[in-house]
Chain A
Amino acid sequence: MKSIIKIAALILFLLPVSASAQQFKHSKQVTVPVSGNCDMCAATIQKAGNAKQLSSVSWNKDTKIATITFDSSRTSADAVLKKIALAGYDNPSFRAPEDVYAALPGCCKYERAVAVQPAAQHHQMQDHKPHEQIQNQSLLQPVLNNYLAVKDALVQSDGAAVQQQATALQKTLEGISMSSLGEKEHMAWMKVYEQLIAESKVMAAGKDVAKQRRVFIELSQHMYTLVQTMELTEPLYWQFCPMYNNGKGANWISKEKEIQNPYYGSQMLTCGRVAATIE
């Protein structure tokens, strides 16, 4: 009796395979281990590998074995495995792209057979998703963004815009919760935050660009102290205009390497040089 059940089970098990094997003209079948965890993985793997009249894949979640049936005159097991890897699943032929693996749903994050060593990881991470970036971002990033907006408004010599952006900066500064900052940032923050708030207040008080620019010298110096402790996602440029402030010169921070002088605006837009790169 038992043997009959076994045989029946075997037939049942074989049926779909032989049926799918018959789909293709020059049918060939291989079994390959493919990494993965759950039913969702199975669905993704099979969807990635199935192609009309070309190939079909069935993946067993318990054994982690994929059975690949394909038309050997038109495709290869490797071609199917490549598609599976591009869907996020490592196999003996291909390793999934780092960013595709990272984007897999949590339940599908299997343990990868080959781990990437840190140096290589660094390179791979260059293609990472923007939302990961935001996680790595410093809490002070909004302050920096507001500062840069103030700077841009000064480049435009638009006093009203400066006022507006300085108001926004002041609000952001007041909203920073010191306790959640990292150690280095915290130290720098303690040093300069009072001045920063005071300076942004002054700049937000009127629309006179000349006055705003004078305060911007100090604001920039204090921002520079702060920025040097921040985890930056892209380099910043500490730029210098030798003419402003009666020839004493003045600095500012910019995201662009090209000079856009906030102290003179369109009068001398490209006057200045990069004094340092902050990375």
Chain B
Amino acid sequence: MQKRHFWSGCLFVIILWSACSTWAQKVVRYDLYIQDTTVNFTGKTKRAIAVNGQIPMPDLHFTEGDTAEIWVHNQLEESTSLHWHGLFLPNKEDGVPYLTQMPIAPGATHVYRFPLIQNGTHWYHSHSGLQEQIGMYGSFIIHKREGDKTVRKGIDDLPVMPVILSEWTDMKPENVHRMLHNANDWFALRKNAVQSYTEAAQAGKLGVKFSNEWKRMLAMDVSDVYYDKVLLNGQTELQFDQYNQQPLKAGDKVRLRISNGGASSYFWLRYAGGKITVVATDGNDVEPVDVDRLIIAVSETYDIVLTIPQEGLSYELLATTEDRTQSASMYIGNGIRQLISPLPRLRYFEGMKMMNDMMKMNGDMKDMGMNMSLNQMDMNMVMYPEAMNAGGKGQQMDHSAHDGHSNGMQPMVKKPGIVTLNYAMMKATAPTTLPDGPVRTLTFELTGNMNRYVWSLDNKVVSETDKILIRKGENLRLVIYNNSMMRHPMHLHGHDFRVLNGQGAYAPLKNVIDIMPMETDTLEFHANAEGDWFFHCHILYHMMSGMGRIFSYTPATPNPLLPEPKKALRMLYMDDRMPHFMAENDFASNGNDGMFMLQNTRWSLGTEWRLGYNSMHGFETETHLGRYIGRMQWLMPFVGFDWRYRKMGHHEVERNLFGQTNTKDNRAMLSLGVQYTLPMLVQFQAEVYQDGNLRLQLMREDIPLAKRLRMSFMVNTDKEYMAGLRYIIHRNFALSAHYDSDMGFGAGLTVSY
């Protein structure tokens, strides 16, 4: 007993001391050393970035009212930056390179210093290039002051652990980005989600596949990138078994402060020990709500409370990527680890059918009058085997009341009892009504096209638009409609917005909102800051493609960290103007066939070549420079240059379908033309050469016959034709065979980059 008294006395002293120190010493300093490192998550050693020698970056803890002083020592060979996600701070501390500061140069030290005027679960990450993908993310926790009126008994006093979710790929993120822009289906192959014709036939969904390609869509998926591993605080498995040296026991509740630091993955969270109680989101308290599962969008944070039901068991909290290919586990409590069953594989062809029904021929989405919003109706439900009743009878989806199921859609049935969190279920703990001010409404349409991986707002990327000017004191209402086929987590820097969700004055505050295809959400915020604030999709590869806008307070206040703001802005625009390179060559027995292409949001420069091994087969190149027109980018006018050399023999004359002749063995021609993507993804080309010759051509590459087998064909009015097959063996290699009207039959190896 004596001993216990002694210890509790000690504990009291420590608490008192630390409490005093937080009041007395208001500045909390952290030093972050950013270094190159190597990691081995998969058996292969790869480059990553570590901060203070660890991935994720260290948890940063503060108390509301503190001043944060964070010294960033950049020991990389490239520039960097750190963005404090979800924080209200002076604009120059926001950490967006070229927008709020110049990048932190290699070898340089930069100090971020700002007062903390809020509390809650936030996080921080690099806003430079793709550094976030390879380790630069960490938890940023601001505790409530002692005695704060908003302290909630049974929530704020629980054992707590910050958890940051992330993903890992062995590929370089730059390469991931490049491959996405080139519509490479390697990721689908790794996920076993190619959705080829053979697979469609086996599933009895051949018609669905045809209609999908007829509508010019590539295989559908809920995520873009295949990852090798999913991590919780940098590990695939975590145990939460004690707190302050006390083991957790049955009946205990714990609070997890979860941030999604993944670059492009949404995660399902499910708990083997029963309900998940959601108590806060994006650093803002909400009234506790019990759910069976929730999906955490990229860059969102949720505080959840979990109960340990029984002694002798520890319970799995399973985080599964939305595409269900990877998961990571955390076990809460002590004892044998009680598992929860993994989520079954998605039913892709059901999803494809749903997409077909939802997409008009012109690429617009149609919601069939369902007025979707706030994640209340998850259209992907048709793909969830666990949501289906065996007999197809049962409860309809929550909002089946809107009568929109007549149009060939399967009635969506949900297994009764699985409660999934949606934004309408969240209610703030105090009124969040905005201060008085003039109200201005801005509408945005989220747009994009998967084939070319162009993501935009109102069909314009960041570099194609001016800043949106706002005034201090006004209330901005954002009405956002997602007319693209992917979901987008839209994030606003430096402000929280109210999500108008039917809770009236108690609309929850957030700084990220996930908007699913066809949903319309309304947000509002009070403009109470100064400077330039980024508003963007937080899927890293969407942001880098230009899916965002800049809100700029007017009149502008000069930012001391940006001596040349105009030049800096041009650098920021570089992000989405960057061209993406691809190249391919088929080393075949009858010659070399290949191409390279440089493409960005609107422009495409490409050269194709066919090089025979002798002058009879000839040597031929075609170069096109074109600009994509329209939102879906099906149309591309171009200028071209063709060159070819071929020995045709005894003054042989080539005649095309229109009777136009062409005798030149050594031909160099300029051309004007237009390319258009037809239904079934067939490329139609019409090209007029300087000598008046006309050429029409139909071509399609990469027809997915089977999981790894692709077919291509080409036919044109010069009476040339080609048909080929490729069997993909690696991201960069394929075995190929083709027949070409010029060069005959050939087989070989296709190398692509």
* A interface residues (Cβ-Cβ under 8 A, vs B): 74, 82, 85-86, 90, 92-97, 99-100, 114, 116-117, 119-120, 122-124, 126-127, 130-131, 133, 233-234, 255-256, 258, 260
Contacts and interface: CB of A to CB of B under 8 A. Distances in A.
B336 A123 contact: no
B72 to A, nearest CB: 37
Given A74-B43, A123-B274, A95 B313 contact: yes
B585 to A, nearest CB: 34
B268 to A, nearest CB: 13
26 contacts: A90-B336, A93-B336, A94-B338, A95-B313, A95-B337, A97-B338, A97-B339, A97-B340, A117-B310, A119-B309, A120-B273, A120-B274, A120-B309, A120-B310, A123-B273, A123-B309, A124-B272, A124-B274, A126-B274, A126-B417, A127-B386, A130-B415, A131-B390, A133-B416, A234-B416, A255-B395
A167 B417 CA distance: 31
Contacts of A255: 395
Given A97-B339, A123-B275, 11 more contacts: A85-B339, A94-B336, A97-B340, A114-B313, A117-B309, A120-B273, A123-B274, A124-B272, A126-B418, A131-B390, A233-B416
Contacts of B394: 130
Interface string B376-402: 000000000010011100110011010
A124 B390 CA distance: 20
A196 to B, nearest CB: 23
Top 9 A-B residue pairs of the complex, sorted by shortest distance between their CB atoms = A123-B274, A120-B309, A97-B341, A234-B416, A95-B338, A130-B389, A95-B336, A94-B337, A97-B339
Nearest to A255: B395
B342 interface: yes
A235 B386 CA distance: 21
Given A123-B273, A130-B389, A82 B339 contact: yes
Interface string B334-357: 011111111000000000000000
B311 to A, nearest CB: 9
A208 B262 CA distance: 59
Interface string B252-284: 000000000000000000001111000000000
Nearest to A259: B401
Contacts of B336: 90, 92-95, 114
Interface residues of B, number: 31
A258 B502 CA distance: 13
A94 B237 CA distance: 13
A100 to B, nearest CB: 5
Contacts, number: 74
A114 B312 contact: yes
A156 to B, nearest CB: 9
Nearest to B403: A156
Contact of A96 (B273, B339, B342): B339
Contacts of B274: 120, 122-124, 126
Contacts of B445: none
Given A114-B313, A255-B395, A256-B401, A126 B341 contact: no
Contacts of A96: 339
Contacts of B417: 126, 233-234
Contacts of A133: 416
Q: Point out which of B292, B339, B342, B395 has the most chain A C-beta atoms below 10 A from its C-beta.
A: B339
Contacts of A124: 272, 274
Contact of B292 (A94, A120, A126, A130): A126
A136 B624 CA distance: 68
A93 B340 CA distance: 14
A63 B640 CA distance: 77
A77 B310 CA distance: 25
Contacts of B43: 74
A116 B310 contact: yes
A59 B395 CA distance: 43
Contacts of A122: 274
A271 B158 CA distance: 44
